[in-house]
Amino acid sequence: MKKTTTIKILVQHLDTLPNIVFSLPLLNCIQEQYPKAELHFLTNKIGAEFLISQKIAKNTFIYKKELFYPILKKIKKEHYNLFLSLNKKTKLNLIPILTKIPLKIGPKSILTNLLFNLTVPTNQSLFIHNILKYKPYFSVFNLPFQINTQVQEDPICQHKIKDLFHKYLDPQKPNLLFVFTPHTPSPKELTAAISHLTSNPNYNFILSGFLSKSSSLLSINGTSILNLINQLNLTDLISVIYQANLCISSDPAYISLASNNDKPIIYIAPKNAPISQTGPLSDYFKIIRSPFSASLFIKKFQELQNDLSISNYFISEKTKKNYLLKNTIKVVYLLKNQKDYQTKKEDFIALQDQGLNIHPFILKKTNPLTLLYFLKKENIHIIQTDTNFFLTKIFLKIVFLFLNFKPKPKFIKQKINKYLTAETYLTIYQKHDFF
């Protein structure tokens, strides 16, 4: 039975996307385990806007330097049980001491080591992950280990970004997103990399994030380029990440959001950044460690393109279904006897080596019911033979009239050929009738 103890928690300083992304599992877990717990936040205007959109905040204190002492008075009146700090800012980490909050948890520093009940080693945005793995913290609230949550996309922002994409971008092309941050690499190498990307006619390009007003990248424009640098708020940017098809960034928070939604990713990482910093990885992931170079970026981008091309990632649903069928199509080849099999054995091996799922089946050794059972069990798409098994065909036709076979096999009379491909069998399956 879940505990229902009412506790009041003050969380600071939820004003950057990394802090938000990596703290949400913790906050949601506390809410699920303690539905009566009150989560209050010390944040800035951006953080307050985000917390409201996520329906997490019960109360927010918008921090400004000139309002420090008035905020202290308000916090003291709330009688919090726990202060959870998300950064090392000395002034803000004095708040639980000055307001007499009994339980204080935060990142390891000289101050917090002296004054906090529990400190956790920091590793950039991995701080929250470290908290979740740190057993003393679990003993405080009896938190379960299995935690899974995602940042929710705001419905208003979702429609706004969809309209923006529809207005400025080609709907037939996949959308490639580059999210800039203050940590994005050297301008010269980055400009060369961006120039290479935007010369590719196969994508729409969305440039977003935040750069200094002097950056030359602010002026990049052109066909199939949507430049949104310094133009989006936090909730808009989350919608852009969710609606893009491929994401490139140097910030682990943006990468984590994209990864949680199975986007192909290029992560421009610090030299020693652990892979786990991105959260769960997508199936298509490339990492570039510093020092960043345009040539290395272009190489990794081409590798990712090749991976996506091989898997036909950016194609229509109909084409995806065909691709899936082509790679899973099953063929049974009917043979008269063992001698017939021996003469065709090399062709079977050649086709199987190419990846075709083809099964030799010696009909004279068995009866039609055994064949029927095999077709049903193995989900066979095509029955192939070079012999006229007339009675067998009649039997199967009658059976298929009354039994709901899925897939319904197609019957073709064609001699085995080691040069046949999965594409050939796919065409046969889609165009041929049963006989």
> Could you tell me if 341 and 293 are in contact, meaning their C-beta atoms sit under 8 angstroms apart?
no
Whether pLDDT at 2 is above 70: no
Domains and CATH numbers, the chain: 8-141 (3.40.50.2000), 155-314 (3.40.50.2000), 322-431 (3.40.50)
Token pair belonging to 413:
């009379």
Whether pLDDT at 271 is above 70: no
Token pair belonging to 342:
């021996």
**Taking the CB of residue 220, how many other CB atoms lie within 10 A of it?**
16
- Average pLDDT estimate for 6-29: 69
Residue with tokens 């037939």: 172
Q: What is the pLDDT of residue 94?
A: 87
Angle among Cα 417, 420, 421 to the nearest 5 degrees reads 155
Q: What is the pLDDT of residue 99?
A: 92
Q: What is the pLDDT of residue 206?
A: 92
Helix (H) or strand (E) holding 60: strand 59-62
Whether pLDDT at 9 is above 60: yes
- Average pLDDT estimate for 280-286: 65
85-113 pLDDT, tens digit each = 877 777 888 889 899 998 888 777 787 88
Residue 374 CA to chain centroid, in angstroms? 39
Q: What is the pLDDT of residue 176?
A: 92
166-185 pLDDT, tens digit each = 888 888 888 999 988 766 66
* Residue 418 to residue 421: CA distance in whole angstroms: 8
Query: What is the phi-psi region of residue 134: left when phi exceeds 0, alpha when psi lies from -120 to 50, beta otherwise?
Result: beta
Would you state the torsion angle of the CA atoms of residues 225, 231, 232, 233, taken in this order, to the nearest 10 degrees? 170
Whether pLDDT at 46 is above 80: no
**Taking the CB of residue 288, how many other CB atoms lie within 10 A of it?**
20
Residues in the chain: 435
Q: Please, what is the average pLDDT of the chain?
A: 74
122-143 pLDDT, tens digit each = 544 444 444 444 434 333 333 3
Whether pLDDT at 191 is above 60: yes
Name the band, by pLDDT with cuts 50, 70 and 90, for residue 348. confident
Whether pLDDT at 196 is above 50: yes
Q: What is the pLDDT of residue 136?
A: 40
Higher pLDDT, 188 or 3: 188
Token pair belonging to 377:
């069990």
Higher pLDDT, 4 or 387: 387
**Cis peptide leading into residue 291 (ω within 30°):** yes
**Cis peptide leading into residue 252 (ω within 30°):** no
Token pair belonging to 2:
């879940």
User: Could you give the residue ranges of the DSSP H alpha helices within 41-186?
Assistant: 45-53, 68-78, 90-93, 95-98, 110-115, 127-133, 135-141, 155-168
> Which of 47-56, 112-121, 214-223, 330-339 has the highest mean predicted lDDT (pLDDT)?
330-339
Name the band, by pLDDT with cuts 50, 70 and 90, for residue 434. very low
